[in-house]
Amino acid sequence: MSDYGVFMYLKIFKPVYVHYSVFFFVLMSLFAENRGFYLLAMLYALLHECAHASVALLLSEKLQRLNITPCGFELKIRTMSYKNELWVVAAGPFLSGILCLSGYAMGFPLMAKINLVLLVINLVPALPLDGGRLVRLMLWRRVGMANGNAIVRRISRFSAAMLFIFAFFPSFSPWLILISLLILTYTEQSLHTPMILEKDYSPHLPVKWICVSPDTQLLSVCRVFSPFYYTMVFVPNFQQSISEDEITGALKKRGAYIKIKELRL
């Protein structure tokens, strides 16, 4: 387990972990006037995450870990294809939207209100929320894992700042402050993966070609590596291309700051 997992989560039983701020959330809920509202919110958040888990199981994906946070329940699942992960991430907001519309249709305004809040909050483009996961998925596919993480980090910081401001208007909301702090904590401690050294290959994994100069460092090339395609590197001065396997092998043996031209020495 990473340092983030050790310092930010309390292990209940494998593979269930509780974020430390959940205890603060429970304490605040006990002293709130509308305790029933927050209990219902946790119930619908659980249903929201059950939708993620159900779709993952239907797609034959293996559930690796369950993180319980004030924003809901975050599932950790082993490496998936782009399409499968897109379905899994979208399942939660989809169910919240269905429950919201059902609440309005059946005359249950509280059910509609809670699920509307869950839907809106989860669509905020910041990690670890579903909106941030969707943005990260699309960026990983287009610009690679490291570049995508850098962009998502900036978007998440901006989103956290906006939630913090909205917490004071039109009325004070400690929950939005808590969520904004959770986003900042997650962003600063978990989005620092510079490259991919190992991944599961599929016979249907698409190939992406990039062209670089001989003086390009391996670290710069690795920033475009992604779980959703296999990278081939073309160097005009070389007689042949360089594969992702060759680059990751050189990374482990010679470090990230050697130049592409040194691979042929």
Specify the pTM: 0.77
Q: Are residues 159 and 60 in the same domain?
A: no
Is residue 246 predicted with pLDDT exceeding 80?
A: yes
Q: Are residues 249 and 185 in the same domain?
A: no
The pLDDT assigned to 202 comes to 61
Q: Are residues 80 and 11 in the same domain?
A: yes
Domain limit, last residue, from 193, 223, 243 = 193
Average confidence score pLDDT of the chain: 79
The single-letter DSSP state of residue 17 is E
| pLDDT tens readout for residues 153-200 | 999 999 999 988 888 877 777 778 878 888 888 787 766 555 555 666
Q: Is residue 88 part of a domain?
A: yes
Q: Are residues 227 and 247 in the same domain?
A: yes
Domain limit, last residue, from 123, 139, 154 = 123
Radius of gyration of the chain (CA): 21
| pLDDT tens readout for residues 28-60 | 666 666 667 777 887 888 788 788 878 887 887
Q: Are residues 107 and 145 in the same domain?
A: no
Q: How many domains does the chain have?
A: 3
What residue numbers bound the domain in which 72 lies? 1-123
Q: Are residues 2 and 57 in the same domain?
A: yes
Instruction: Determine the distance from the C-alpha atom of residue 199 to the mean position of all C-alpha atoms in its chain, rounded to a whole number.
Output: 17
Closest of 201, 204, 187, 52 to residue 128, by C-alpha: 187
- Cα(72)–Cα(51) distance, integer angstroms: 12
Q: Is residue 52 part of a domain?
A: yes
- Cα(54)–Cα(63) distance, integer angstroms: 10
Q: What residues does 230 pair with on adjacent strands?
A: 207
| pLDDT tens readout for residues 111-164 | 898 899 889 988 999 888 889 989 998 998 888 888 888 899 999 999 999 988
The pLDDT assigned to 4 comes to 40
Structure tokens at 201: 């290959």
Q: By 3-state DSSP, what share of the chain in percent is helix, strand and coil, each rounded to 5?
A: 60, 15, 30
Does a cis peptide bond (omega within 30 degrees of 0) precede residue 93?
A: no
Helices 82-106 + 35-58 axis angle, to 10? 140
Lowest-pLDDT range of 10-14, 22-26, 46-50: 10-14
Q: Is residue 199 part of a domain?
A: no
By DSSP bridging, strand 72-77 and strand 230-234 are unpaired
Closest of 152, 156, 155, 125 to residue 141, by C-alpha: 152
Q: Are residues 174 and 232 in the same domain?
A: no
Q: Are residues 112 and 157 in the same domain?
A: no
Q: Are residues 32 and 102 in the same domain?
A: yes
Q: Is residue 173 part of a domain?
A: yes
